[in-house]
Amino acid sequence: MIALTAKTLYTPLERVDNPLLLLDGQHIADVTSQAARAVPAGTRVVDFGDAVLAPGFLDIHIHGGAGRDVMEGNPASLSAVERLIAKHGVTGYLPTTVTAPVDQILSALERLARAIEDGEKQNSGPGGARATPLGIHLEGPFMSHARSGVHPPGDLLLPTLPMFERFWQAARGHIRMITMAPELDGAAEVIAAASKRGVCVSLGHSDADLETTRAGIAAGARHATHVFNAMRPLGHRDPGIIGEVLTNPRLTVDLIADGIHLDPSIVQLVLAAKGKENSVLITDAISATGMPDGLYPLGSLEVEVKDGKALYNGHLAGSTLTLDAAVRNVMGFAHWDLQAALRTATLNPARVAGLANSGRLQAGASADIVILSQCGEVKNTIIRGHVN
């Protein structure tokens, strides 16, 4: 057994001062305070001084990093991404596909499913912590031509049950999220079918009006992908998808808080509208994350990165954001304290993606922990109880 001590712990719903966090193998055995319980005899104690203990971050929308794209799907590519994001506090993630020819998507899903099934073997050897793939986010090809962003328009498809079934079988049931435009013919039927299998259907890359958005929610959609980006603009007489997303308390939303995809004032607006309970931070990070400016892959595209901004033919093409930076940006943009900001990168994405053992420090949960400074800088990352 290992005992972790520090100045503060956020579960994140509760704050514990002078905490005692007991790890038993890959799981948390107890979350308490040093005043309430003595360290069990024979326990290894690791003291992090004046740091903060928090649940490991979860990135439910990420395309790559460290020069590699997750659709490559090979162990070396995923390992490079996983080591990079672990340094930024991410302990679990959903590798996210992009629109491509169907055969390429199917091949990527098969490789990613294998990586997820092999994930139990991670973090047991040398080389540092690696974030764990916990499921797949299928972004595209069921998106609007009008709001496809940089996704190749020639590879977009209308949603059908047979096509969804092909993706589901290739992924061996590991699809946890799917982004879809609700206005497409066949969308309601596929939304309902995916929702029945426990998939979080997220509205995005959409030009839907208010009525059609509500129909998608009635069919089972419960989340929205990178709100404002690749969406019909908000109008005061034609509120469209954004009007519904911001005002419907049944919907959670994710946002890219890099100051590029959204002005800081809009980040503040979204967080004020959705609150601490319904806001989720994502990175939408591409292979260029953690790398110098240059040309990098995003699926089959070659994206140019300059001054940290990723562009394809003049359009934003993902980001180079890291999740710890997004947490700190929320603190700065919206004036939230660290505890509130942490919820958007831990408990909330866990609930959205159905990750029952992640996102919260409590007995029985996976021992995935990030150690932070009081201002949110990552000091260390512990994944499945492996303390470096």
Condensed to tens digits (0 to 9), the pLDDT of residues 326-342 reads 999 999 999 999 999 99
Residue 122 is encoded by which pair of tokens?
Answer: 């991670």
Tens digit of each residue's pLDDT (9 = 90 or more) over 94-112: 999 999 999 999 999 999 9
Mean pLDDT of 358-380: 97
Cis peptide before 141, with omega less than 30 degrees from 0?
Answer: yes
CATH topology of domain 56-359: TIM Barrel (3.20.20)
pLDDT surpassing 90 at residue 119: no
pLDDT surpassing 80 at residue 23: yes
Closest by Cα among 234, 321, 223 to 280: 223
Render the burial of 18-40: b for 16+ CB within 10 Å, e for the rest: ebbbbbeebbbbbbeeeeeeeee
Computed over every residue of the chain, the mean pLDDT equals 96
150: confidence class by pLDDT, cuts 50, 70, 90:
very high
pLDDT surpassing 60 at residue 152: yes
- Tell me how far apart the alpha carbons of residues 334 and 264 are, in angstroms, rounded to a whole number: 8
Place of tokens 């919260």: 360
Closest by Cα among 40, 19, 1, 18 to 362: 19
Which listed residue (69, 155, 258, 284) is catalytic? 284
- Tell me how far apart the alpha carbons of residues 222 and 176 are, in angstroms, rounded to a whole number: 13
3-state secondary structure of 192: helix
| pLDDT computed for residue 299 by the predictor | 85
The share of the chain scoring above pLDDT 70, in percent, equals 98
Cβ burial of 162 (10 Å; 0-12, 13-18, 19+) is exposed
* Cα atoms in the Cβ-side hemisphere of radius 13 Å centred on 267: 26
Find residue 138's DSSP bridge partners: 97, 178
| 156 CA to centre of own chain | 23
Contact (Cβ atoms closer than 8 angstroms) between residue 328 and residue 344:
no
Render the burial of 269-301: b for 16+ CB within 10 Å, e for the rest: bbbebbebebbbbbbbbbbbbbbeeeebbbbeb
Contact (Cβ atoms closer than 8 angstroms) between residue 162 and residue 190:
no
* 284 among known catalytic residues: yes
- What are the extents of the domains in the chain? 56-359
Whether pTM > 0.85 for this model: the answer is yes
Residue 145 is encoded by which pair of tokens?
Answer: 């031509």
| pLDDT computed for residue 300 by the predictor | 83
